Amino acid sequence: MVNRLVTATSPYLLQHKDNPVDWWPWCDEAFAEARRRDVPVLLSVGYAACHWCHVMAHESFEDDETAAQMNAQFVCVKVDREERPDVDAVYMDATQAMTGHGGWPMTCFLTPDAKPFHCGTYFPKLPTHGMPSFRQVLDAVSRAWLERRDDLTASAAEIVRLLGERSALPAEQTPPDAELLDTAVQALRAEFDATRGGFGGAPKFPPSSVLEFLLRYGSLGAMEMVEHTCESMARGGIYDQLAGGFARYSVDTAWVVPHFEKMLYDNAQLARVYAHWWRASGSPLAKRVATETVDFMLRDLRTPEGGFASSLDADTDGVEGSTYVWTPEQLHAALGESDAGWAADLLSVTSRGTFEHGASVLQLSHDPDDDARWADVRSRLLDVRARRPQPGRDDKVVAAWNGLTIAALADVGVLLDHPEFVQAATEAGQLLLDVHLIDGRLRRVSRDGVAGSPAGVLEDYADVAEGLLALAQATGSAAFLAKAGQLLDVVLDHYADGSGGFHDTADDAEVLVRRPRSATDDATPAGQSAAAQALLTYAALTASARHREAAAAALGATRVIGATYPRAAGWGLAVSSALLEGPREIAVVGADEALIKAARMATSPGAVVAVSPDPVVPAWAPLLEQRGLLDGQPAAYVCSGFVCQRPVTTVRELVELLG
């Protein structure tokens, strides 16, 4: 027997379509039903690749007795957090406020007017480690609703009021200055793990935005933090040593044992970080990892329509990591006596193991002494691994994460001379414009080439604009530049808060118990700082003072957050670095490949590059207008803040100008 989720487009919701729970999707009708029955709403939020979401589903949502209790006492609503980040943000704030922590699965109990009065995350089937069972929680909440309803509704109203106050962004409209960036780097150094790389303790997440900031900053030991962290991650178990690509996070401080889900947004951001690290250092490891990470996304996450799927699951047939780990015996069976020992030493596979049941997560603590042998061993292990059961794939296309991916493909493709990456970025960009952009407004998700109903949020507009701007620079496309401008017009017209910041939802979006907004950079850049970057890049390419001023004002919140907790402001600090630098606006006219390459290799923070190989062709960006050859030779023009220096014709002169 299937429930209402059978018609959903979200793979996560479809995982629950056969549950005995009478699930509703998030909709007005569900809350109307709660009012009619005079019962609370049980809101369950998760995502397809979430290990503990699967555990709770198997333990409770697939259990007939638990489902019967849920159905009798509540109207049950299931939400995919990736599809509805606005709903997730509102109730995650409530969960963190009530419990001091958050995470998924998230379980919230709401009044029929959607106000939260009791929240938690995972609840076990049986009481354990001081936690009540899920059924005990259901009983307690149901009893409280019947016996103390006035207290619950008053508490829910107060929670919503307090969350509304907490959601106010700092009123500061002045962007960070150089002194604040210095302070932020020093604070990051204090939290830096000098032994293992990264920041803080376990679990350890790839600090993508912070790494991009440090790459742009460059001094006070910033590059050393980047190099140590990037090398430690690339050689650890968090990186797939056979197939490329990064897992979501490491459960330990040394990047050895990952939580095995692979998210599109992590890999997109990290591919760009490693390409930028290569640009700054020439590191062969950085080049290899950037290329392999893009190869992973193209091979394992690309959809038939040209977009990119959201994630690969942490579990395979209900067992976490079983696709990826190895024992010495499995290596011997795959490789034979002659290569198994060599591979075990190279990949840190031991009889004791680093994971469950004596298995090991593959690491590559040093480069192999025989490249040809390693290529052969790697290929054979991949063949064996491909015959194992594989993790599920959440194949919905999320606009924001595809925007991040387009920017990564364009950057890596141009920097590392992979035109096929740029072509893949072009196809993904066209998919977003053809499928997600409807009547000038973005839809958040699509699947099988069909747009879903959730409206785009701020990060969708900002990240897609960022991707299109990177693509415009890689291809010289006026059309992509224009579309980015149209998306940013929507941001300025429908998301602005009137004081320099932005809301996460549009002024005409569905009304929730509060309008979500955040300036905190987490696994992905906050919509606020992502918008600032896209606005600043667009301003640099088009000489738009309006967009530059909007970018600067949006960074006011970064000034406050970056001064107190820079790990939560990495992308905002990176954008602030670009604003302080100008950013540099580099126009190259004429078919001089060496000059074009030198422009694109510029490490100046947030630099934009507009190339016109044929000076006769109309300029695709205003930055190129009225720029021509110099005495018949290809020329480079370097500007900053709409002020230009003299044009140059040689690589040496350009490098000197870029300093």
Instruction: Please write the tens of the pLDDT for every residue from 251-260.
Output: 999 999 999 9
Statement: 178-316+393-581 belongs to CATH 3.30.1380.10: no
CA distance linking residue 464 with residue 501, whole number of Å: 19
Mean pLDDT of the chain: 95
Residues 533-553 have a mean pLDDT of 97
pLDDT of residue 164: 81
Residue 165's pLDDT band (boundaries 50, 70, 90)?
Answer: confident
Q: C-alpha angle with apex 434: 432 to 438, nearest 5 degrees? A: 90
Q: Which pLDDT belongs to residue 655?
A: 96
Q: Look up residue 641 and give its two tokens.
A: 């803040």
Three-state helix/strand/coil letters over 150-219: HHHHHHHHHHHHHHHHHCCCCCCCCCCCHHHHHHHHHHHHHHECCCCCCECCCCECCCHHHHHHHHHHCC
pLDDT above 70 covers what percent of the chain? 99
Query: Given a cut of 70, is residue 77 above it in pLDDT?
Result: yes
**CB-CB contact of 391 with 324 (8 Å):** no
pLDDT confidence bin for 169, thresholds 50/70/90: low
Domain residue ranges in the chain: 4-166, 178-316+393-581, 324-386, 584-658
The residue among 243, 362, 250 whose CA lies nearest residue 291 is 243
pLDDT tier at 168, thresholds 50, 70, 90: low
Tell me what pLDDT residue 83 has.
97
- 659 confidence band (pLDDT: 50, 70, 90): confident
As a whole number of angstroms, the distance between CA 74 and CA 219 comes to 56
What integer is the mean pLDDT of 482-501? 96
The pLDDT assigned to 71 comes to: 97
Asked whether 265 and 521 are in contact (CB, 8 A), the reply is: no
Neighbours of 453 (CB within 10 A): 11
pLDDT for position 104: 94
Averaged over 455-464, what is the pLDDT?
Answer: 98
Distance CA 391, CA 460 (A): 27
User: What are the backbone angles phi and psi of residue 638, rounded to the nearest 5°?
Assistant: -120, 125
- Given a cut of 80, whether residue 80 has pLDDT beyond it is yes
Compute the average pLDDT of residues 615-630: 93
Q: What is the mean pLDDT of residues 352-356?
A: 95
Residue 9: which pLDDT band, with cuts at 50, 70 and 90? Answer: confident
pLDDT band at 47 (very low <50, low <70, confident <90, very high): very high
Q: What is the pLDDT of residue 450?
A: 96
Note the pLDDT of residue 167. Answer: 66
- Report, as an integer, the average pLDDT of 299-320: 94
- pLDDT at residue 1 in the model: 63
Predicted TM-score (pTM) of the model is 0.95
Confidence band for 162, pLDDT divided at 50, 70 and 90:
confident
Q: What is the pLDDT, as a whole number, of residue 131?
A: 87
pLDDT for 616 = 87
pLDDT on residue 172: 65
**Average pLDDT of the segment spanning 579-595:** 96
pLDDT bin (cut points 50, 70, 90) of residue 142 is: very high
Distances (CA, A) of 116 to 27, 96, 554: 16, 12, 30
Residue 641 pLDDT level (bands cut at 50, 70, 90): confident
- The superfamily CATH assigns to domain 4-166 is Glutaredoxin (3.40.30.10)
What phi, psi does 433 have (nearest 5°)?
-70, -35
pLDDT mean over 70-79: 98
**Calpha distance 259→268 (Å, rounded):** 18
